[in-house]
């Protein structure tokens, strides 16, 4: 182990020499410039795992391993922002980490306070790329001095708007989802403003139900008279179950119906007004309008682009309750065997190249499927010859044309070139010349009664016509 540490020191000393730093910087710039020629993920997340194991393997203190992990984070942030990544989310501290020994938790809190202060006050990296810091998690679990450092870092970088650094501290995805559901329930428990102060939805289910119920009650009130009061009471009593059946359509319509359905004995009371009661009733938002996007809008990452790439180091293949909601069908999840303090451009470069390859392949597949859908829609047109019979016309597409997607461009490949275009033009000129010279009809089957249609026994006449010779 002593020999390994000595070789590591010698290697670091060589790499930190001015010639080596200049060479590595040039190569790094070249590789990042090559990456920017292709698609770049807009949102990348990192699970920074392996700091403690790195410290154990190198026989150093655990806190020193976390410090080396912070230096690795600075290197990766520079690579991401230079390549064009807009949002970087890091898993800095889990709520489950409070179960660790107290001295380690206190050391992590102290390191977070010091590093955030340094990053904000002397953060030329964030100012250079216009990145702002945002801390996602439960603030009430953080110490007061650490919370003060967090607020200072957020305020000092609030003017940056070109990129974002999300620090999940302390955070778990289950807690985030629970918080989003709680906030959604709170929003849908608040009554809507009066109709004059909010945008109305005249064709929503609850609005249509309320209008029907109000019209029925108004009709009953107008038709009722003192000499026909028993009949009106009978009608209202028989219509009451119908109102109840309509009220089950949504929560808001049920509340409106309950407020606008008085006893029939007060039908002629001057205080009763269906429109007045309906307007004064508290109307809640319709819970049927809650969708997955509603919960997404209540997440901590509501204003961030969708997660494109998630990377976890240390060889552990699990998400550890991180970004469970944000991972969707197009998110690439990569597990690397290297420890987080060892993670740098040379480990991250193959990940980005592979993501670009998969991205181009998915884009090619989507475009080809779109072309196939257009061809299928074109081929399913009915026969014009037989209006009473539908027979799909199946035609093979031109296989000499292939659409290839590279990035955002369509490149035509195949045999469709200038030579074939010139042949078509020559054929068209020969056809026009034959028409002007008064030659015999080129399509004799269209000159007589035999026009190529079906006869009585369903057979199609196969008429032929002389074809123009192709030029040599």
Q: Are 390 and 383 in contact (CB under 8 A)?
A: yes
How far is residue 113 CA from its own chain's centroid? 33
**Residues 295/32, Cβ–Cβ less than 8 Å:** no
User: Is 385 a known active-site residue?
Assistant: no
Active-site hit among 12, 67, 97, 469: 97
User: How many other C-beta atoms are found inside a 10 Å radius of the C-beta of residue 133?
Assistant: 22
Rounded Cα distance between 98 and 110, Å, is 14
Alpha carbon distance 50, 290 (integer Å):
40
Q: Give the max Cα distance, the chain.
A: 110
Name 228's Cβ contacts closer than 8 Å, sequence gap at least 6. Answer: none
Structure tokens at 284: 């809640």
What is the C-alpha separation between 131 and 124, in angstroms, rounded? 10
Q: Is-contact 203 210, C-beta < 8 A?
A: no
List of residues 6+ apart from 13 with CB closer than 8 A? none
How is residue 9 written in tokens?
């020191």
Catalytic residue at 49?
Answer: yes
Helix (H) / strand (E) element for 188: namely: helix 173-188
Separation CA 231–CA 391 (nearest Å): 61
Q: Which residue matches tokens 């597949």? A: 365
Helix axes 18-35, 2-15, angle to 10 degrees: 80
Determine which one of 12, 29, 49, 183 is catalytic. 49
Question: How far apart are the C-alpha atoms of 298 and 183, rounded to whole Å?
Answer: 7
Structure tokens at 403: 């659409």
Radius of gyration of the chain (CA): 36
* Catalytic residue set: 49, 97
């Amino acid at each position: 182990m002593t020999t390994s540490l000595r070789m590591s020191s010698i290697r670091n000393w060589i790499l930190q020499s001015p010639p080596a730093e200049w060479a590595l910087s040039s190569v790094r710039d070249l590789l990042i410039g090559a990456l920017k020629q292709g698609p770049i993920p807009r949102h990348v997340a990192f699970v920074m795992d392996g700091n403690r194991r790195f410290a154990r393997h190198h026989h150093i203190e655990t806190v020193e391993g976390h410090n080396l992990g912070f230096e690795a984070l600075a290197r990766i942030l520079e690579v991401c922002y230079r390549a064009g990544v807009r949002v970087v989310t890091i898993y800095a501290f889990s709520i489950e980490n409070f179960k660790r020994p107290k001295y380690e938790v206190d050391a992590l809190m102290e390191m977070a306070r010091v590093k955030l202060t340094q990053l904000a006050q002397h953060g030329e990296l964030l100012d250079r790329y216009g990145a702002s810091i945002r801390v996602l998690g439960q603030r009430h679990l953080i110490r007061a001095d650490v919370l003060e450092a967090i607020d200072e870092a957020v305020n000092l970088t609030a003017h940056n708007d070109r990129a974002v650094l999300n620090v999940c501290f302390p955070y778990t995805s289950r807690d985030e989802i629970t918080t989003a559901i709680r906030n959604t329930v709170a929003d849908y428990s608040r009554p809507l403003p009066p109709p004059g102060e909010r945008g109305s939805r005249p064709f929503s289910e609850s609005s249509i139900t309320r209008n029907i119920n109000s019209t029925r009650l108004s009709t009953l009130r107008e038709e009722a008279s003192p000499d026909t009061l028993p009949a009106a009471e009978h009608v209202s009593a028989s219509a009451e179950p119908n109102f109840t059946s309509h009220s089950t359509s949504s929560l808001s319509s049920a509340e409106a119906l309950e407020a606008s359905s008085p006893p029939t004995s007060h039908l002629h009371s001057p205080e009763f007004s269906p429109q007045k009661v309906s307007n004064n009733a508290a109307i809640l938002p319709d819970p049927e309008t809650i969708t997955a996007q509603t919960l997404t809008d209540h997440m901590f990452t509501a204003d961030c682009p969708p997660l494109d790439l998630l990377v976890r180091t240390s060889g552990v293949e699990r998400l550890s309750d991180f970004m469970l909601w944000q991972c969707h069908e197009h998110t690439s999840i990569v597990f690397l065997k290297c420890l987080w303090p060892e993670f740098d451009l040379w480990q991250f470069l193959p990940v980005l190249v592979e993501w670009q390859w998969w991205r181009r392949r998915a884009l090619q597949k989507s475009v080809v499927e779109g072309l196939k859908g257009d061809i299928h829609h074109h081929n399913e047109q009915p026969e014009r010859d037989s209006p009473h019979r539908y027979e799909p016309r199946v035609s093979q597409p031109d296989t000499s044309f292939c659409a290839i997607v590279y990035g955002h461009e369509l490149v035509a490949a195949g045999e469709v070139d200038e030579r074939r275009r010139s042949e078509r033009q020559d054929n068209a000129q020969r056809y026009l010349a034959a028409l002007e010279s008064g030659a015999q009809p080129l399509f004799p089957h269209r000159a007589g009664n035999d026009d190529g249609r079906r006869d009585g026994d369903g057979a199609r006449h196969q008429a032929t016509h002389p074809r123009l010779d192709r030029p040599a």
